[in-house]
Structure 1
Amino acid sequence: MKHVKKVTAVLLLAICSAFFFSCNKDNDSEPEPKPLTPAEILASTPWETTNAKNNKGENVALSDANVANFVGFAYFRADGTFTMFNLDDSPKMQGEWSVSADGKTRTIIAKNDAGVVLFTRVVDITVLTKQEFTYRIYPNASDKTVYFDIIHTPTTHPAPKK
């Protein structure tokens, strides 16, 4: 009888332990947020050009003729449209945008107010995080040894009215 009591106590302890340790602590916490796609990252904030670097890694003044046309504020909306303004808030361009699924390229299709396509530009993305968006431009498309990286960081600057 003593042996049966010990076996019963051990079994009861094992069953209670199983229930206690099988409880999932994750039920009380928030689920992990889904990682953002490259397009969602780009649309998550307005961007301001804050720096440019050449192929040697040297800083390039934002007023330099090689990069000046790429400087300003960019507002990429989740609906695939964008507006860009110069740093003095004057209008720069508007149109449609997309980012490749792998986050390696960004395409903009600039349009005039009537919706007529002015140009299409595809650039290589070198950094795309919530803290930085950098793309590469080549002054001469056939020479990939000379390039400029256009660096943007998030801004709270409101989109100017046109």
Structure 2
Amino acid sequence: MKNLKKVTTLLLLAVCSTILFSCSKDKDDNPEPKQLTPAETLAVTPWETTNAKNNKGENVALKDANVANFVGFAYFRADGTFTMYNLDDSPKMHGDWTVSADGKTRTIVAKNDAGAVLFTRVVDITVLTRQEFTYRIYPDNNNKTVYFDIIHTPTTHAEPKK
């Protein structure tokens, strides 16, 4: 009788243990990435200009006068501020930024060190994903048939110290 009680108790413990451990929270090895807003997507990583294309879809050298002023590293912070540097890490500009809720435009407000506004630039966004940020510039705002797409990809380049 004692042996029957011991065997029954052991079997009951084994069943309870199996149930307890098999009911642990399931883990998803491939969770869906969080859906980010356009502004969150821009702020999630630093960006580096890696290419430019003209309205014909042709690559344009990053030193070309039509695109050179738009080339560099960009750091968009979640607090709505940004800094940009040239590819040699020299400072380019800083200020405030926003992206429209629909993700179609980005606005930067460049400021001097005293906080005075130097200029405001609004550009059309053509691609905004975690892998690419591309915006379009027009040399002549009255002629939308001639444009350059400035293409950025994520970078691990550390933001230079001021």
TM superposition score category, shorter chain reference: 0.7 to 0.9
Amino acid at match of 2:84: M
Give the corresponding residue for 1:135: 135
Deviation of 1:34 after TM superposition, in Å, equals 3.6
Tell me which residue corresponds to 2:97.
97
1:87-111 deviation line (CA, Å, top 9, x unaligned): 0000000000000000000000000
5+ residue gaps, structure 2: 1-22
Residue matched to 1:52: 52
Structure-2 residue corresponding to 1:81: 81
Q: 1:28 aligns with which of 16, 26, 40?
A: 26
Give aligned-pair identity as a percent: 85
Q: Following superposition, which runs of at least 4 residues in structure 1 exceed 4 angstroms of deviation?
A: 29-33
Q: Deviations over 1:104-157 (max 9, x none)?
A: 000000000000000000000000000000000000000000000000000000
Q: Give the CA RMSD over aligned residues.
A: 1.4
Q: TM-score scaled to structure 2, two decimals?
A: 0.81
**Equivalent-residue separation in structure 2 for 1:33 and 1:105 (angstroms):** 24
Where do 1:96-115 residues align within 5 Å? 96-115=96-115
SS in 1 for 2:106: strand
Q: Deviations over 1:28-65 (max 9, x none)?
A: 35685541000000000000000000000000000000
- Counterpart of 2:91, as a letter, is P
Q: Which amino acid aligns with 2:63?
A: S
Q: Residue in 2 aligned with 1:150?
A: 150
- Once residues 65 and 152 of structure 1 are traced to their aligned partners in structure 2, the CA distance between those partners, rounded to angstroms, is 18
User: Secondary structure, in 3 states, of the residue corresponding to 2:69?
Assistant: helix
Which residue of structure 2 aligns with residue 117 of structure 1? 117
Paired with 1:117 and 1:90, the residues of 2 have a C-alpha distance of 20
